[in-house]
Structure 1
């Protein structure tokens, strides 16, 4: 839609420019003629006044405006009473014998001079001391023709600019399309690489539990009455639960986040999350503390946010196998609620910090790399954001920003 709008806008601008160029060129001719006519009328008035003030017409010989090629005064008998060329004064027009000629009405035409120049000729009746004469005024058309030439040049420039603009636009559009295809190809290759990586992770994660399940089941099948089969059966259950957890993580990451949200207090959610983390935390010697205002309400999907907090809590516990402190803190920040999950565990190496939210990226020997990626998806689906700060050997702080209830 945006591309069509740009194309229509370009066509509209092109039509306006072409119309303006053609209109300017077509108007140049009439404007040039009006300029010549106006100049001729002004000169006619000036010559008539000079002739009225000097009956001998000698003053007219010193009248040489730059636009005048020549001018004449002809009487009723068709004789030159005045001519810019003194030798023609007193001779009949066109060399014919003198005879009575009617006075001309005002007229204008184009004539060709002896030099081959195309000139503008203006004829108008004038009266000099009561005697009717005809003034024939021939003007150079340099300046008038320059108006037409300038309009033609402007039209040519506009046409060239329009053509160059469209050629440049087509070139840019082709380059943009090629660049878009290149990005699509890169994205496709990256997706294929991620798919291959996911396949490798899944193959590794699924194959190990299946091998254990298969081995323990074969032992039980061979000697069903042995006392140690109870431990083998428990191992089968453990590996099956591990496979179930992997499948649940995959389904959770692939699922579309629901749109329906609600307002809920954050403090009870913190209390429930800590109670679920306490058994594992006590087994590892990790202390868990939390602090959250009782009246802090968050707008979102409660169960999905709880899942994100549990994932982050388990990640923090895994980073503290030898004990430590896990803190869950919440506070207001403008219209948002800011949640921090802090641990003083092993931290994350600097070269891995930019990839921790990528799906299937993991540094653990037994892990899918979906935990943090799923947390990021859940938080962003609830109109929030998630960031991570960590120092190797000092611990990690994960910060969630979620919208508060309005």
Structure 2
């Protein structure tokens, strides 16, 4: 060494200071999003899947759910993430197929997702086993498979279709002397009939006329005629739970219904919803005046306003997202619950194991009043053999009035007793 000092580069002092400061921030914050707590906040990866490109006469497509998940990702990261964690949302086309569901689950495992959130699949046995092996929780599915209410990896936000049928029994018991039920000629349809029968029996009403029907039929004239004869011309009700074929049934029913007949019709969300009512004529649709049992408040309720604002500002006109669609609503609620859980954990690194532990230890998930507060401890579950993972047995009563779903009764209605009784006696 010569002892001579090297000349400093000719650079403005302020620029040098800014660079040093920025480097120090990066080193100390490890890239934490604005709004974080100052310590290292690792990115959180989750997955949402739903069929979006399925084809075939009985295929289901729910592309709005994955689109809603991506809009949520953009919105929450613009706000600084979840408790300072950047949210990375992976989506997967489940293709309404066994192989597609399994592929999506394996992708979630490969990408080290900490949860699968707000998703739809009818193929629970294909996707749940990989999640169970990897310890990845399945939070807030649509309720399209039994595994969502049985697997120890499942954390449902609703009571599924079983809760809706139990609620339908209570809703119809007040106004209907005789009830006809048109339902799928399947094991699932058998369960529907049993739940409705159990609920009506508890209310002191006679058993419904049970009418099994083919799921893929293009006309239900015979079933509609049978349902009309069972309900009678006045004081009777006809309810149908046929999924996307419910519209077909009620089209047949309204064509055969005698002029002046006073027969009330009813169904559940998932079979009837605001998009279907809009598509079939609004206030002139065959569902005008129908009772509908749902999991959530009706679409016009102010509690949906935060979701609608996110869609307006972060979906960029994506027409796959309909805020009145039950699938879109379920995805929003599931992500709202996830946010509530992660914020309560106060962890710098969120893993599937930590998230599962927090859920099992009773961390409370707030959904902004769209469901009751949710907890998944053992003591929060209804303890039913048929629905061991259900923690939310509350439903809403709605009615179609002037072409819009509105509340028929304020607040939530608890159907725990009917679900438990149906499970115990079946």
* TM score, norm. by length of structure 1: 0.22
Larger Rg: 1
Larger helix fraction of residues: 1
Larger strand fraction of residues: 1
* TM score, norm. by length of structure 2: 0.21
